[in-house]
Structure 1
Amino acid sequence: MLGGLRAAWRVVSPVLSTVSGFGWAVLGFSLVFLIVGLEFGWREFLVIACVGLAAEVIAIGFAVGRSAYAVRLDLASERVVVGERAVGRITVSNTSARTLLPARIELPVGASLAGFPLPRLAPGQEHDDLFGIPTTRRQVITVGPVRSVRGDPLGLMRRELRWTDAVDLYVHPRTVRLEGSASGFIKDLEGLASRDLSNNDVSFHALREYVPGDDRRYIHWKTTARTGTLMVRQFEETRRSHLALALSTNTADYASDDEFELAVSACGSLGIQALMEERDVTVMVQGATLHSETGRRLLDDLSAIEEEEKRETIVQLSKVAGQTVPDASVAVLLFGGPVTPTQLQAASVHLPLGVRVVGVSCQPGTEPMRRQIGDMTLLTIGDIGQLPAALRRVNN
């Protein structure tokens, strides 16, 4: 019994779903007017009921019909920079042997909905529609899925069919190229010897007595012959540049959305430059570490981050950065105008000794500045185009 009801519901459900909320309301009122008109003999009510029921029957004719489409959704590029034009195309073709009646194509674009009229299509005929997507702000926009809609002009019936999957459009932050001495601060510690001793590196430190397990390739035979004791070379580990970027996403660290967007752009510029130079990069925000294997993945993640009210301030973020990347050679903290010098001093304390600390305060419209707060070099920029010159000041 239950199995039969389920099977019947599977058949009836798609049919019932084509009736819109307005259609159900019209149908309900029409039935009420019909019953009242028959009960009391009120012709006016009977006329209204007949008109409503007739409209429902006519609406069915608009909703029925074959929909044998082949639909393709194409974006000219799935990744654009803020302000660039994003263009896409919908191609619909009739794959049946019969002419298909006009319909409507709907395309969700983020929170908006775009509609395109689809004309009558002969067998094998194609129809193209081009569309543009505004990219005035950094974000990830879900485009699609494409669906065809059949229905009547009154909106009593609405039949939807989905034809494609959704596609993500990444609107990347604006970045600038850091060339010459502007990127030099990333390289400053490359190849410098640390105080950590190693048994195999390129920076020779001293000789010591051989112990079981040492690599015999590093035995110093001349000293061994002179002393009569096996002696091996010991090295100092050399430091490879590792850039740690800590971008605050706490709304309390920014006076406006523009400050946050500038900080995201600066973070992307620094990360991309380091990756181009084949440096190690770690990018962190409160509660997450972004993908930084490639520039594309980093910019994709930066496209999706948003400001949020968080308990973790720039101080806690700096502490997490010090624990997550203890071998960093350069740490850059990125934030907005409300962050105070006291907070920056507290933040720099949580980073390991020997790490070069740079703070980037993003305040649109201000003149670039450089000053020292304890061990931290603080840069203030008012536009992403000022970042290369500001970094050159760090090296000077």
Structure 2
Amino acid sequence: MTAFARRPAPEARPVSSTGSIQGLRSRAADLWQSVTALGRAMALAALLCALAFVPTGWRELLAGTLLGAGMLLLGLLMSLGNLSCNAETSLDQGRLEVGGQAELVLVLTNPGSRSTRRGRIGLALGQGTIMAPLPALTPGQSHQIRLKLEARSRGVIDLGPVTMEAGDPLGLIRRRRILTGARKLYIHPRTVALPPLEAGLERDLEGDPGPGIVDDDLEFHALRPYAPGDDMKRVHWLSTARAGTLMVRQYEPTLRTRTELILDGQAASYRNADEFELAVELFASLGCRCLLDGRRLQALAPEPDDLDAHVTTLPTEDPRSFLDACSAIRPSQDSYDKPDLADAPERTSLTILVTGSLGDRQPSALMGESVQGTPPVMLLAADLDAQPDLQMQPGLVSAVLDSLQDLPPLLENQP
């Protein structure tokens, strides 16, 4: 007979109340956060009335206590209900230009097995919030909210988060649930279509292939039939033997196209904010033209966030990233050392400076005493109160513009 050892029964452990206490604290914190400032003032008034009623026995104080407590309880009951909802936002345009419009579509879906209650949808847009009513949704039901957005000023704004809230009509209780996070919306400065930049194109054997065809360079392009006057040194004899007629070489021009584009970001250089916006529009239009032309571009502008770094280099991988950075440009209220045009980076072929009507436009201050060895400089001054003007000196083109539309004719007549 086999004997089995009898194991002692495990001792009964008391149920830990830590989880339940934490749950109660979390619910109490959520409940307190749902009480608005007006509701907290009402609760404080009801508490003071109750404390004053004990020693005085005044019925008016008791009535105030009951009224305050009743209104808070009613608000709490009116805010109860299911607020679980999925939200998706979509823009027909991910980026806007100043003055442009876009349609924002907000799709709300009830993913649960219970119906949601009626409430309000809040969409944070920059510093403000757009509110829209939301009907009760049955399980699986969706609801669309369409909003028209108009870009009135340049900038980078936060679109979202999207919240759903419910409460009483008096605003004592507001339950709020965050449905989505925030995303960035870029409002680009106005730009204008410009002709290709011809200024600052220099023949350089170490440069990059440029547009057009020339008869003598390093970058081979194609062959063409011989024409009277062609240099016999450019005849390609192997192709001539195959074709039975003289064939000469053609080349792509090898050009130095490194451009330095500078925006004067000092607020003291401009009369007002509109003038600074015009300067940013000129700056953005020129930068986009340089990138479309395939130029190597270094764009310098004031740092929008860091107060210590007054000048930053904007991304120039493509026009979109460049315009995104232009959306965040802000004028600097502090004075700082502007880039010296005479100390342009090595192998720079053109320097463009965009400033305001109060900026320094003296050639001696911009280029030093001598222009020898310095790249050509194009100086554009935004001045809303002046007539368009163009002045040309050796190595310096200076222009005053009172609107963005004055820029294309200037570049069409560039030297």
TM bin, normalised by shorter chain, reads 0.7 to 0.9
* CA-CA distance at 1:98 after TM superposition: 2.0
Cα distance in 2, alignment partners of residues 98 and 61 from structure 1: 18
Give the one of 344, 358, 368 matched to 1:349. Answer: 368
Question: Is structure 2 residue 362 aligned with structure 1 residue 362?
Answer: no
Contact 1:138 1:171 in 2 (8 A): yes
Contact 2:195 2:412 in 1 (8 A): no
Equivalent position of 1:134 in the other structure: 150
Cα distance in 2, alignment partners of residues 14 and 283 from structure 1: 49
User: Which structure shows the higher helix fraction?
Assistant: 1
Cα distance in 2, alignment partners of residues 375 and 78 from structure 1: 41
Distance 1:32 1:113, change over 3 A: same
Question: Is structure 2 residue 410 aligned with structure 1 residue 390?
Answer: yes
Three-state SS of the structure 2 residue aligned to 1:22 is helix
Contact 2:189 2:323 in 1 (8 A): yes
* CA-CA distance at 1:267 after TM superposition: 1.2
Cα distance in 2, alignment partners of residues 352 and 98 from structure 1: 79
* CA-CA distance at 1:341 after TM superposition: 3.5
Equivalent position of 2:400 in the other structure: 380
Three-state SS of the structure 1 residue aligned to 2:414 is helix
Equivalent position of 2:314 in the other structure: 290
Three-state SS of the structure 2 residue aligned to 1:268 is helix
Contact 1:71 1:90 in 2 (8 A): yes
Equivalent position of 1:227 in the other structure: none
Contact 1:341 1:373 in 2 (8 A): no
**What is the count of residue pairs matched by the alignment?**
347
Q: Which amino acid counterpart does residue 391 of structure 2 have in structure 1?
A: R
Q: Structure 1: state its 5+ residue gaps.
A: 195-200, 204-237
Cα distance in 1, alignment partners of residues 360 and 32 from structure 2: 61
Q: Structure 2: state its 5+ residue gaps.
A: 1-15, 208-216, 220-253, 303-310
Equivalent position of 1:22 in the other structure: 38
Which whole-Å deviations, capped at 9, do the CAs of 1:86-136 have from their partners, x for residues lacking one? 221111111122222101111111111110011111222111111122312
Question: Is structure 2 residue 198 aligned with structure 1 residue 184?
Answer: yes
Equivalent position of 1:225 in the other structure: none
* CA-CA distance at 1:11 after TM superposition: 4.1
Which whole-Å deviations, capped at 9, do the CAs of 1:285-333 have from their partners, x for residues lacking one? 2421111111001000001101121212xxx3232x6657332100000
Equivalent position of 1:115 in the other structure: 131
Q: Which amino acid counterpart does residue 303 of structure 1 have in structure 2?
A: S
* CA-CA distance at 1:202 after TM superposition: 4.3
CA RMSD of aligned residues (A): 2.6
Contact 1:98 1:123 in 2 (8 A): yes
Equivalent position of 2:189 in the other structure: 173
Equivalent position of 1:332 in the other structure: 352
Equivalent position of 1:235 in the other structure: none
Q: What is the 5 A alignment of 1:4-43?
A: 9-43=25-59
Q: Which amino acid counterpart does residue 123 of structure 2 have in structure 1?
A: L
Distance 1:346 1:95, change over 3 A: same
Cα distance in 1, alignment partners of residues 37 and 390 from structure 2: 62
* CA-CA distance at 1:192 after TM superposition: 6.4
Question: Is structure 2 residue 326 aligned with structure 1 residue 302?
Answer: yes
Cα distance in 2, alignment partners of residues 101 and 193 from structure 1: 70
Question: Is structure 2 residue 68 aligned with structure 1 residue 52?
Answer: yes
- Which has the larger Rg? 2
Equivalent position of 2:338 in the other structure: 317
Q: Which amino acid counterpart does residue 292 of structure 1 have in structure 2?
A: T
Give the one of 250, 254, 258 matched to 1:242. Answer: 258
Q: Percent identity?
A: 27
Distance 1:190 1:107, change over 3 A: farther
